Structure 1
Amino acid sequence: MSNENKQTAEQDVNATYAAESEQAAEQQAEAADQSQAGSEEAGALSELDQLRMQSDENYQRFLRVQADFDNFRRRSRAEKEDFAKYASLKLIEQLLPVVDNFDRALSSSKEAKDFDALVKGLDMTFRQLDQVLTQEGLKPIEAVGQPFNPEFHQAIMQVESEEHEEGIVVEELQKGYMLKDKVIRPAMVKVSV
């Protein structure tokens, strides 16, 4: 072979070797890129899996809280119903002795026919009833001699009066009552004009 041919052959071998080396380097780079992309995908997948697990955990927590709230609402409703059902229990327990005394007074008046004893028994029983109602916050509305107030009084008549100024309650026809700070029945009154 001639020198020229040898040089051309060497150049061809060198070119082939360089091309193969370059191709191998490219393949290694691609493999490294794929490996890195694979690890990034694996990292992204594991991160996605972690987020899904966290989402599932949060959803389960939400369901438990919702169930707890539903149970609380049911218990509260049942407690309110029981409270409303037995709200007057304390008052009834306090009134039972009054009812017993009325029963005794009526029974003894039938047997003894003693009018004075009956009046005395009824008076004592009425005072006992009044005491129970006062303890519960019931109080009568003052009317006679007071200026007419439509919040506390219900005027059913107007009368002329020389003793009182205009707009003063001169007579109470039916007592009015307040329970604590609320008017439960206004007093029926006659008002001066």
Structure 2
Amino acid sequence: MRRIQVTETTENKDLVQEEKDVQAENVVEETEVVEEQKTELTIEEQYEAKLAELQAKLDDEESRHLRLRADFDNMRRRNQLDREAAEKFRAQSLLSDLLPVIDNFERALQIEASSEETASIVKGIEMVYRSLIEATEKEGLQVIKAEGEQFDPNIHQAVMQEQDNEKETGVVLRELQKGFMLKDRVLRPTMVSVNE
């Protein structure tokens, strides 16, 4: 009987050992499954991280592209405005140089002709003056009106003050030197005398 018990005990030990082995295998399998899941999650996380990184780079490049495009559009607009201004005011330098010539013609025309010979010279000067004025007006030169107008420091230069009780304060009484504008830009302000 003892032998049978020993055999049974041995069998029990074997069963217990088998059971422990099975449990160990299960633990190993579960660990492997968990590690595989961790590895899979890690790979998924890596993909997600890589995707997020690439998306951030794409967003950055798109933003940079939009800024460059806006800068280019702004530069193109500025260049267009500069070209238009250069075209609009291309004659400014020449017209500025011609202003003293116009002044001299006007002074010459104020001389009264005492003889027929002087009258013909004055008539010739007047014809040249009119041609010059027509040519400058075609380029956009305009005389600034002053006498009787309200004083405007943007287009008038006050050099004197006079008293006239019949007119309002700040009204231009006399024009001392003509002023000129080229389109919407003042070339030379009008020298005026203003009512106190």
When normalised by structure 2's length, the TM-score is 0.60
Q: Distance in 2 between matches of 1:166 and 1:68?
A: 56
**Match of residue 188, structure 1, among 164, 170, 192:** 192
Offset from partner CA, 1:40-86 (integer Å, 9 cap, x none): 11211222222233334334444544554554455455445544544
Gaps of 5+ in 1: 96-101, 103-111
1:149 aligns with 2:155: no
Counterpart secondary structure, 1:172 = strand
Bigger shift: residues 168-177 or 12-21? 168-177
Residues 138, 165 of structure 1: CA spacing in aligned structure 2 closer, same or farther, 3 A cutoff? closer
- The amino acid of 1:149's aligned partner reads F
Conserved 8 A contact 2:158-2:192: yes
Q: Distance in 2 between matches of 1:81 and 1:177?
A: 23
CA RMSD of aligned residues (A): 4.3
Number of the residue aligned with 2:7: 6
Q: Give the total of aligned pairs.
A: 172
One-letter code aligned to 1:122: V
- Provide the residue aligned with 1:57 in structure 2: 58
Greater mean deviation of Cα atoms: 149-158 or 4-13 = 149-158
Does the aligned pair in 1 maintain the 2:180–2:190 contact within 8 Å? yes
Deviation for aligned residue 1:142: 3.5
TM-score under structure 1 length normalisation? 0.61
1:121 is aligned to 127
Residues 90, 172 of structure 1: CA spacing in aligned structure 2 closer, same or farther, 3 A cutoff? Answer: closer
For 2:39 and 2:126, locate their aligned partners in 1 and report how far apart those are by CA, in whole Å.
104
Q: Secondary structure at 1:2's aligned position in 2?
A: helix
Deviations 1:112-131 (A, max 9, x none): 99425404413532552474
Percent identity over the alignment? 13
**Superposition deviation, residue 11 in structure 1:** 2.0
Q: Which amino acid aligns with 2:59?
A: N
Seen in structure 2, the aligned counterparts of structure 1 residues 77 and 120 have a Cα distance that, compared at 3 Å, is closer
Gaps of 5+ in 2: 96-101, 103-116
Conservation of the 8 A alpha-carbon contact between 2:172 and 2:193 = yes
Between stretches 1-10 and 177-186, larger displacement belongs to: 177-186
Q: Distance in 2 between matches of 1:35 and 1:15?
A: 30
